Chains A and B, each alone.
Chain A
Amino acid sequence: MANKLKEPTYILGVGCTRFGNLLETPEIKGLSLQELAAEAAREALADAGLGPQDVDAVFVGNVTMQTSQMPATYSQVANWLGTQFKAGVHFDAACSTTNVGASMAAMGIASGVYDKVLVVGLESTQSQPKELSPFERGTIPTEEMWLWTDHCVNQAYSVPQGYDIFPTYNAFNALGYCRKHGISLDELDRGLFELCRTRRLHGSMNPKAIRQQTLEDEAKQLGFDDAWEFWTSRYNPHVAWPSRLYSVVTPADGASAIVLGRPEEAVAGASDPVELKGFGMSVMDLPWYTDDPTVMPIDEQSFQKAYEMSGITSDDIDYLHTHDCSHIMSICVAELSGYLPQGQGLKYAEEGRLRFDGDKPMSTHGGRHAFGHAWAASAGSDTYEAVKQMRGQAGSRQIQNPPKTAVIHTHGYAMISTVLVLEGGK
């Protein structure tokens, strides 16, 4: 494998809707999925200073067909995006979708086929069309959402024999982390509490996050002066002991979009382009690890490929997002990437070093728990945040020295490890 982009490729524009619930959240309430996708695309195109007919191809990602009821999603949304007659495809890499799309776009651009590509991810995890209505949606029960989401997981042997995401992607990893690093279960709980506080702080500073209340404020609202007491209360049960509810994903509805192009396609006066310097992808089926649940071989491979293509090392990283629908796994992957020292991630969280104003900032949009997780759209929301931070456009949660090198890792269920390396910034 040559593992090289033959020509440089840039992110010219990014867009992302508020993450929330199409039935409740004010900014997106009442929208159809077609309109949600168009909102993200419109922001990304405006950010790039382009119109929809300026792009050559559109890659549209959506995972959960039961909630979209729109297979062949691209042809169904093209008229809403304004991209009719363009090349297009519907694709799915689960929770890595939008960043896999950005990688495919880079391949299309660096090969000389396309000058500009629009990548869009859209997802509803909260509702589905009501009785085939074109505009009315009804809430789906949580277990139904997981049943459909678990269609992404081994259907021959795992799901039919009792597979459950919470022990597999939270509890075993947490227990493995404790055993590997000699950390007590009490220290684990405290560290995950501090990590949640950090993510919720970031969510409270982000008008697009699904959860915009700090953990402390939520605790107070429910009658707890002490947030730790709230953390260990019945409001935060073990979803899979020792992992608690507030250390895991908050499912959401949302859409994101990325415009990529050759550097000469950047429009004067538009937002600063950011180079997509490299990427890495690796896939494996369950089980994702052997005797050490903190290390997935696919992550070792995807980081290695991305570092090689982009010519960076972990020492170059100024901002990191790792897939954090499991907070403990996000720490395991951050340590695997070399951004954090082995066994120190939770300690760094306690010391505030992972905050936007810390020396090792991570997931400043709030991550999967506070920003929310809309499967196919989420990787794009991570890239959106990284690009905004690199340009100095992240508002109150802006990292003081805008990062020059950002790395974004996602786990696409189940399991597509994807790493993007971005370079640019002021």
Chain B
Amino acid sequence: MTDSIIKRYYDALGKGKLMGKKCEQCGEVTFPPTTACNSCGSYEQEWIELSGKGKLLYVSHGMAPPPNPRFNDLAPYAYGHIQLEEDVYLQAIITGVSIDPETLKGFFDMGPVDVVPDILEVQGLNVLAFKQP
């Protein structure tokens, strides 16, 4: 039996690692990992570990109660659009950021800020969130 790519990703998160795939054809990074390169579609990829360092480009917040009941205790939470240094874009919960308009406007006025992973365990699942270092 082989663990699915999805399970390996979440298990790695639990060890503090962000695991993705690098395409052997075009060299692009796919994160989170899938069976095919998200740039060229090639199935030939190798596992790589990402640094986790990134820029928070935009931050807002989600609704409460949240659509996914897993997050009932966290919502409403700040949610951000992030660019990782491997030139991968993703969206994630941002911890340590208040969701009042003044705070969020402050982030907008400031422009991109550095963020690093803040891996949470939410009802038994490892969840990739980010925070300011």
Contact = CB atoms under 8 A, between A and B. Distances in A.
Interface string A330-363: 0000000000000000000000000000000000
Contact of A162 (B38, B83, B89, B127): B127
Given A147-B69, A160-B68, A239 B63 contact: yes
B60 interface: yes
B26 interface: no
Given A158-B91, A160-B125, A164-B79, A291 B57 contact: yes
Given A160-B127, A161-B128, A287-B91, A147 B60 contact: no
B90 interface: yes
Given A161-B92, A162-B77, A167-B61, A147 B68 contact: yes
B63 A164 contact: yes
Given A162-B92, A171-B58, A239-B63, A156 B32 contact: yes
B125 A293 contact: no
B131 to A, nearest CB: 14
A270 to B, nearest CB: 44
A242 interface: yes
A231 interface: no
A176 interface: yes
B60 A175 contact: yes
A241 interface: yes
B89 A185 contact: no
Interface size grouping (class) on chain B: 35 or more
Contacts of A157: 6, 9, 32
A162 B66 contact: yes
A335 B91 CA distance: 25
A172 B60 contact: yes
B101 A164 contact: no
B81 A166 contact: no
Contacts of A224: none
A157 B91 CA distance: 10
A129 B104 CA distance: 41
Contact of A286 (B9, B70, B77, B91): B91
B65 A143 contact: yes
Interface centre among A156, A179, A239, A243, by most B CB within 10 Å?
A156
B67 to A, nearest CB: 4
Interface string A138-172: 00000100110110000011111111111110011
A240 B63 contact: yes
22 contacts: A150-B68, A156-B6, A157-B9, A158-B91, A159-B67, A160-B70, A161-B92, A162-B129, A164-B63, A164-B67, A164-B79, A166-B60, A166-B62, A167-B60, A172-B81, A240-B63, A241-B60, A241-B61, A242-B60, A285-B38, A291-B57, A293-B58
Interface of B: 6, 9, 32, 34, 38, 57-58, 60-63, 65-71, 74, 77, 79-81, 83, 89-93, 99, 101, 104-105, 108, 125, 127-129
